Structures are given as C-alpha cells and as structure tokens.
Amino acid sequence: MKKWGIASCCVLLFVLIAGNATATQWAFRITFANKNGTLDLNNPTAFLSQRALDRRSAHGIAVDSADLPVSPVYINDVLATTSGVLHVTSRWLNDCVVLLTDSSKISLIQNKPYVTSVKYIAYYAGNLHNKPAYTGKFAGEMQTAAAKGTGQPGYYNLTWNQTTMVHGDCLHDQGFKGQNKLIAVLDEGFTDVDTHPGFNNLRQSGRLLETWNFVHKFSNVYGYSLHGTSALSTIAGEVPNTFIGSAPQADYVLYITEDTQTEQPIEMDNMVAAAERADSIGADIITSSLGYNIFTDFHAADLTYADLNGVSTIAARGANMAVKKGIFFVITAGNEGGDSWNYILTPGDADSALTVGAVDPSKNIASFSGYGPNSAGITKPDICSQGDPANVFTGSGNYTTLNGTSFSTPQIAGWAACLLQAYPQALPYQLRKSINSSADHYNNPGVQIGYGIPDFCTASTTLGQLLEAPLPLVSQDWITIYPTYVGAEISLSLVTTLTTKEIIDYSLTDISGHILQRASFSPGNGRVSTGIAIPQNLPAGVYIFHAAASKGTYMARIIKY
C-alpha cells in the first residue's frame, strides 16, 4: 500500500544536485495564493455537472470558492516559465502538479507572488504519461483457492457469507441494489473489467459511465493490475446463482490513481484529483482500497503515526473535502496490522471518512487489519466486514478468494449505496452514523475492530427514524447564513435595513433544543457579514441556528462535519 508527504525545504537542495537529463522527469506540487482569473462562481454549470449541483442542493450545500478551478492564468505562467507538463490540479487545495525535465527551472517560479509553496513529490526515470500497462504490486493481499461453486445458498452462492454477515440481503430484498447511485472506484488497475462475464450487465446496461487513468493521463484503465478488478467485483459483480456484489445495479466510474511501478507522494495528488473529478460529475460515493504511510521510493516523505491525525495529510484533506461536498467516502484501514507500522493508513485516518477493516467468515478480526485509533484519538477503523478472505473476481473470467481490507472496503461502499437509494435525502454523516451505530461493538469499540460488524437491516431502520421528522429550514430576506455545512466557523450574511441600535440575538442548539451557544451583536445597515466560531468540541451532526430581531425570527439547519 502507499503513502505521502515532503517538506518544501527539500526543493532548493534538490535543485542544486539535480541534472538536466531529458529522459527523466521531476514532479512538483505548486500551491497558489488565490484563484484570480478563474471562472465565475455565479455560473457553476461551467465547472460542475447538473448532477453535482443537484446533490449539493438536496443537501443544502452551497457552491463556494473551493469548487472553482485553479487559475488558468497561474497554470499557464508556471508551464511557460518552467517548460513543464501539467499532470493534475486540485481546486479543493488550490494547487497543481507539474512534471519538469529540467528540475532547476522550478526555482524560476518560487518567488512568484501567486505561489505560496513548492514541494518536490516524485522522480521518474522516463516520461510518466502514456506508459504501457504493468502488473500490480499488492503482494501482501494473499490469494487462496476457490471453486466456482460452493453450494452456499441460492442466488448469492459465493458471496452469501459476506452478504449475510452484514445483513445486506435485507436491502436487496426490498429492491435496493444501488439503482441510480453513482460510485467512483479509485484503484491501481482494472484488468479484464472490459471482458469478464461477471461485469457483462454493468457494461451492457451502460452503467459504466467513465474511466480515467490519473497516473498516465489517458482513458485506459483495463490493464496495470487485477487489484481494482477484484475490489470492483465485490460491489458490481452480478452472476445470479454464482456471485452477487453489494450494489450490482449502481452506476460506476473507474479511476486509476495508483502507480504500479513506484511508491511516491504524487499518488496522493492523483487520489485527490480523482475525488474532485468524481465530485464534479455528481458521484454519491467514493470507495478506495488504497492507503499510504511509507514511500519506498521516496523516504524523505515517509509519514509518522502523529501525521495521521485525521486532517493533515493530502489524502485525508481530500477525503474530508469530498464529504463536505456531500459524498460518502469509504476507505480501507490497510493491511499493516501486526507489522512494524501496525496502524491504519491515510486517508483511513480522515475524520469524516468511513474506514473499513477486515474479519474472517466467522467474524474474527483479521490479524493483518490495521489498528486505530487515528493519532487524534478518533475511533478507526469505523467498522469491519469480510476480507479474510473475500470472494472476488480474478482474471480470464475466473473467481477466487483474496485476503485484504481492499476487499472488505468496497463491499461496504455498495451497501451504503443501497442504503442511500432507500433514503436519498440522507447526508454522509447520517449514513455513517446509522452504519456505525448498527455495529456489534458500538458500545465497546476496539482498536482493531472499531465499532464492529454492521447490520444494514438495523442501519436502515435507524436512518429512517433519523430522517422521519424533517428539520426546519426557514429563509428570510433580512438574513442568510453561509455555509450551512461547516467545520470550525460559519459566517452570517445580512442584507438588512436594521439600525445600528438593533440587536440580533442568536443561539445554536442541538436537535433536541439544548442550547450550546448564545450571543448577540449589532449589525448596522446594508450588507453585513460576521463570523461565528462553532465550539470545537461539537461532534459531527445536525444543529439548529436561531436568530431573532425586529424583522422577525430565523432558523436554519447547520451540519457539522
């Protein structure tokens, strides 16, 4: 599995020792100070699909500056100055990655007023883009023999045990198989997905909507590795009476973000770029069986356990931002349990993601499943499902079993899609809460089992009860609040004729009405904005903001992620 990170102080030293070989490339992450020269925020269809906008609207999530593309003015200047090649960009983190054949040219942009940081993140002996396909590198995920037929019950056959373990069949029995939900799968390769008969229905029904290789910058993903093929099969596989995945009727996009030939920080940039692409086309769920801590080809960037605090790594920041945009992010805990690292990987530490470990068919924790919590003390993994081993597809139309959290993770993403189909109004944190609270160790979580093995029948009931009474959302012309999906602070925006003597009283309560914060202020005339800090110890959840003045009362739903 994989990892990221490096300090910008390495850049100047590297430039001094690097040569100007034309057959090699150096990759740099360049972060910008602003987005001057980008598109107009008032025309969101220029950079987000209607499906993405509909998801935001349904969840009360405003389009903001994080959604705007990186400034093309800055990118063009960087490329012209360095003679570089653009690899990926991140609108969420406001950066780009460029590939240079002459590393010394990076010094030419370090003092540009629009550049805030430059980090060296990868080296390639040849041209990165348009490389041929390779075999995969997940040797730690072990294969064991499995016959095509096992005599397990009827329709599911090979996947019956991993299905009934979490009572996912309860959702299928109600007709929820992921229909019209879009799942993005981020992995290292999808060999034979274009030919395996287990994916015939996916291909022939037109539900495979897009493929892209973020490593080599083209559309081919049908090579490189069987790892993503096997992961995808646990969700999308559909061979009645032989093998049924957890969301066999969902829509899918397949993205390669993992380089099969190297272990370098740039792969985290690929992951964030893929997550942003998934967001922009309107994905409901992202699942990835990739994780990072040690870079075998770039040890200067190795992470420590302290780095896995849920909010700091590039990977965790990308996962958390995806959730902020209304996407349910499901991620592997990793297979490092019991080795010298032992802990979960990033972005499995991300505080807004659902992190998945592995158990055996008898619900015993897999010895290799990564340990939590994250370094901030948040319970990780969240839950576990069968991955020691899981039944999966392999090459040439065959079936096998593989050990790894890589194969327990996508199963959960599929069941979440079915749950979201049943309750499309559910927010990511509500899905996560209902799944976690249904698990068999919810009241006594462990460092390796997390909250335990979920029960999707129970999760469905819990989610239904949570959504049964719609929360009030009142709009007044004299006050608006932005954003309503918040981390540490909200901003009040007022368009008002109130006088400077007017006092606005406001409070923040939980959904039971308990007051958590109360204050007042005088806004004055015209358009006024003011920031309000949210208490740092508030857990993720739904809260109600109340305001009162002579113009009337106001009440809005606030989502703390």
DSSP 305-319: GGG-SSSSSHHHHHH
Q: Which helix H or strand E contains 59, and what residues bound it?
A: helix 50-59
Lowest mean pLDDT among 269-283, 292-306, 347-361, 465-479: 465-479
Distance CA 122, CA 117 (A): 16
- Residue 538 has what pLDDT? 79
- Residue 476 has what pLDDT? 63
Distance CA 532, CA 488 (A): 9
Q: Which helix H or strand E contains 492, and what residues bound it?
A: strand 489-496
Give Cα 63 to chain centroid, integer Å. Answer: 18
Q: What is the mean pLDDT of residues 348-369?
A: 97
The set of long-range contacts for 458-463, using a CB threshold of 8 Å and a minimum separation of 24, is 458/167, 459/419, 459/434, 459/435, 460/170, 460/171, 460/419, 460/422, 460/423, 460/434, 462/433, 462/434, 462/437, 462/438, 463/419, 463/422, 463/423, 463/426, 463/430, 463/431, 463/434
Q: What is the mean pLDDT of residues 518-540?
A: 74
Q: What six digits make up the tokens of 387?
A: 């991955």
For 520, phi then psi, to 5°, come to -150, 160
Is 60 exceeded by the pLDDT of residue 152?
Answer: no
Q: Which CATH class is domain 480-560?
A: mainly beta
Is 80 exceeded by the pLDDT of residue 307?
Answer: yes
Distance CA 133, CA 188 (A): 11
Q: What percent of the chain has pLDDT over 90?
A: 71
Is 90 exceeded by the pLDDT of residue 542?
Answer: no
Is 80 exceeded by the pLDDT of residue 143?
Answer: no
Radius of gyration of the chain (CA): 24
- Residue 67 has what pLDDT? 95
Q: What is the mean pLDDT of residues 34-59?
A: 94
Strand partners, 153: none
Cα dist from 337 to 29, 188, 305, 341, whole Å: 31, 22, 13, 7
Distance CA 388, CA 308 (A): 25
- Residue 375 has what pLDDT? 96
Lowest mean pLDDT among 73-82, 231-240, 273-282, 489-498: 489-498
Identify the band that residue 17 occupies on the pLDDT scale cut at 50, 70 and 90.
very low
Q: What six digits make up the tokens of 231?
A: 């992961």
Lowest mean pLDDT among 20-34, 104-118, 236-250, 427-441: 20-34
Identify the band that residue 27 occupies on the pLDDT scale cut at 50, 70 and 90.
very high
- Residue 525 has what pLDDT? 64
- Residue 147 has what pLDDT? 36
- Residue 539 has what pLDDT? 78
- Residue 493 has what pLDDT? 66
Is 80 exceeded by the pLDDT of residue 132?
Answer: no
- Residue 455 has what pLDDT? 98
Distance CA 440, CA 453 (A): 6
Mean pLDDT of all residues belonging to the chain = 88
Residues 6+ apart with CB under 8 A from 133: 189, 191, 220, 223, 224
Sketch the domain layout of the chain as residue ranges.
Answer: 154-468, 480-560
Distance CA 444, CA 398 (A): 40
Is 70 exceeded by the pLDDT of residue 475?
Answer: no
List the alpha helices (DSSP H) in 449-550.
456-468
Residue 331: helix, strand or coil by DSSP? Answer: strand
Lowest mean pLDDT among 135-144, 221-230, 301-310, 315-324: 135-144
- Residue 466 has what pLDDT? 79
- Residue 21 has what pLDDT? 43
Q: What six digits make up the tokens of 384?
A: 């576990």
Is 60 exceeded by the pLDDT of residue 324?
Answer: yes
Distance CA 434, CA 371 (A): 22
Lowest mean pLDDT among 4-18, 124-138, 381-395, 402-416: 4-18
Out of 3.40.50.200, 3.40.50.300, 3.10.180.10, 3.10.20.310, which CATH number does the structure's domain 154-468 have? 3.40.50.200
Q: Which helix H or strand E contains 173, and what residues bound it?
A: helix 169-173
Report which DSSP code applies to 147: -
Q: What is the mean pLDDT of residues 284-310?
A: 96
- Residue 486 has what pLDDT? 75
Residue 2: helix, strand or coil by DSSP? Answer: coil
Residue 407: helix, strand or coil by DSSP? Answer: helix
Give Cα 295 to chain centroid, integer Å. Answer: 21
Q: What percent of the chain has pLDDT over 70?
A: 87
Is 90 exceeded by the pLDDT of residue 546?
Answer: no
Stated pTM of the model? 0.86
- Residue 448 has what pLDDT? 98
Identify the band that residue 149 occupies on the pLDDT scale cut at 50, 70 and 90.
very low
Is 90 exceeded by the pLDDT of residue 278?
Answer: yes
